[in-house]
Amino acid sequence: MKINSQTIAKNNSQLKKLADFKVGVDNVIFSVDTAYNRVLVLLRKRNEDPFNHYWSLPGTLVRQGESLTDAAYRTLAEKIQVDNLYLEQLYSFGDPGRDPRENPSSFGVRYLSVSYFALVRYQAAKIINKKNYDISWYKVTEIPPLAFDHDEILNYGWNRLKNKLQYSPIAFDVLPPEFTLNEVYQLYCTILGEHFSDYSNFRSRLLKLGFLSDTGKKVCRGAGRPASLYKFDSEAFAPLKDKPLLFI
Amino acid sequence: MKINSQTIAKNNSQLKKLADFKVGVDNVIFSVDTAYNRVLVLLRKRNEDPFNHYWSLPGTLVRQGESLTDAAYRTLAEKIQVDNLYLEQLYSFGDPGRDPRENPSSFGVRYLSVSYFALVRYQAAKIINKKNYDISWYKVTEIPPLAFDHDEILNYGWNRLKNKLQYSPIAFDVLPPEFTLNEVYQLYCTILGEHFSDYSNFRSRLLKLGFLSDTGKKVCRGAGRPASLYKFDSEAFAPLKDKPLLFI
DNA sequence: ACAAAAGTGTTTTTTATACACCCATGC
DNA sequence: GCATGGGTGTATAAAAAACACTTTTGT
């Protein structure tokens, strides 16, 4: 990346007045419906200007005394009930003009969005539907036009999800406490596509990492041999933390 | 990660007043002095409260009409002259209480820091020393106590540098246009430590990726056989972009 | 018995690692 | 010649990929 001359020129012009910001948090909330083999994103239909009637990412403005993470959790808790989830900060979008509420007459108030990325368990997530705004899961492949720059934020989150899955154990935050290896495989297939790995290779690599322990319990899913239930052993995972680890 | 009950409790208490933010940009600016085998960070000594006389990351508050990236470039350009550099957003720190200038009587004005991570070429970087504040390179292994939460930000940036180097061609943004393979190797050694890879293996892996082209020119560095000068071929790299690529 | 799903093992290919060795230059 | 750094090749070990095969259930 190079410093361009425009940047330098802008630096020299003395527009020293500081911008005032409202800071919002926008969440890209994913869930995985392995039964139908699809990744879903939680969207909210706006019922106020700007972008009235557009779909958008669930978000909120940060309140006095509230941390960014708390604001992200609050938004999430207002829209859905979940048990476990994975949540992390994504990226901050704050360029002038990204929110139409900014206008020259409003003393330069700007809207900065700190985006968060969440992965929740689809089966355990219950949408809280109150008042007259709509909340709904959308397939990540069929997203309607979104308000503001939320398309860009969503895309950023979608890339993060696919990458994170490969070197971080976020899948186990979103699986039930006890799960079959096939359930793990289905989750990976749904997010990364079916061609990422053969089941038997995936299986042996995952077990060799040594942080999944066999509970001894068996479970039947219709026909076929009963599957072993495994659980995530966070103690066994601890030493692997911060290591450049690949799960697939 | 689990939703804890404190979060829920906080949600229900209705403290609906929005926070007002000043948004700052803090830069973790790295350079690599391969001659002395050390990674350096640019620090600035504060000459105002809070944290007067502490060292800190070079930063600035965002002005009206200014994008976050522009603010990052402006800070950089005020402190050092560089030719090429790599710059990307790191993380946003905005929890209440991170800046002592926040106080209950100031109507909840908060200070949010959007941090950026930069890598510049040490040999080409000239420090601009004006007025009475000090700017200096510090070895990343010998950082003094920093103002605010800048230790945490620096640590975050240092991890990003080490990771990014392994799957992204940021090294070539900071090398001269034509370079020897040994110069690339030295850069990697300095940042990742000498034990990351054998030189001959590093060399063949890098060349096999196919985006370095031999200029045919030779250069002598004291004794020994003259080395070939290579250059980064961005056209050949283009198809590799967005691929999960490892350079070491 | 047979289909379906779980689980194991084996072969082949590719990639990583650790070196040994040759090449071109300065002194 | 010989030390020095540049550059190539090779043997070995490890890991990834492809796929054949066995085990245990439901029907």
pLDDT at A109: 87
The verdict on pTM exceeding 0.85 is yes
pLDDT at A106: 59
pLDDT at B83: 85
Residue B92, strand partner residues: B114
pLDDT at B107: 64
Whether A11 has a pLDDT exceeding 60, the answer reads no
Look up residue A71 and give its two tokens: 């604001």
* Domains delineated in chain B: 19-167 (3.90.79.10), 171-240 (1.10.10.10)
Whether A238 has a pLDDT exceeding 90, the answer reads yes
Q: Taking residues A154-178, report their average pLDDT.
A: 95
Residue of A nearest to B115 (CA): A92
pLDDT at A194: 86
Tally of CA atoms within 13 A in the half-sphere of A245 that contains its CB: 20
Which residues of chain A between 198 and 237 are close to nucleic strand D, CB under 7 A?
A: 198, 200-201, 205, 218, 220, 222-226
CA–CA dist B76, B72 (Å, integer): 6
Return the nearest residue to C5, CA–C1': A224
Per-residue pLDDT tens over the stretch A197-222: 999 999 999 999 999 999 999 999 88
* DSSP per position, chain A: -B--HHHHHHHHS---PBPEEEEEEEEEEEEEETTTTEEEEEEEE--SSSSTT-EE--EEEPBTT--HHHHHHHHHHHHEE-SBEEEEEEEEE--TTSSTT--GGGTTEEEEEEEEEEEE-GGG-EE---TT--EEEEETTSPPPBSTTHHHHHHHHHHHHHHHHHHSTTHHHHS-SSB-HHHHHHHHHHHH-TTS--HHHHHHHHHHH--EEEEEEEE--SSSSPEEEEEE-HHHHGGGTTS-----
pLDDT at B97: 87
Nearest CB to A94: which of B19, B65, B68?
Answer: B68
Nearest CB to A85: which of B1, B84, B173?
Answer: B1
> Cβ–Cβ of B15/A82 closer than 8 Å?
no
pLDDT at A246: 82
For chain B of 248 residues, list the mean pLDDT of each consecutive stretch of 10.
44 66 97 92 93 96 95 95 94 92 74 97 86 85 97 97 94 95 96 92 95 95 92 94 81
> Cβ–Cβ of A11/B74 closer than 8 Å?
yes
Nearest CB to B3: which of A73, A78, A89?
Answer: A73
Residues of B in contact with A8 (CB under 8 A): 77
Mean pLDDT (chain A, rounded): 89
Short-list A219, A231, A164, A233, CA closest to A192: A164
Per-residue pLDDT tens over the stretch A24-42: 999 999 999 988 889 999 9
Q: Which residue has the higher pLDDT, A144 or A34?
A: A144
Which residues of chain B between 201 and 220 are close to nucleic strand C, CB under 7 A?
A: 201, 205, 218, 220
Is A70 near strand D, with its CB below 7 A from some atom of it? no
pLDDT at A107: 64
pLDDT at A13: 44
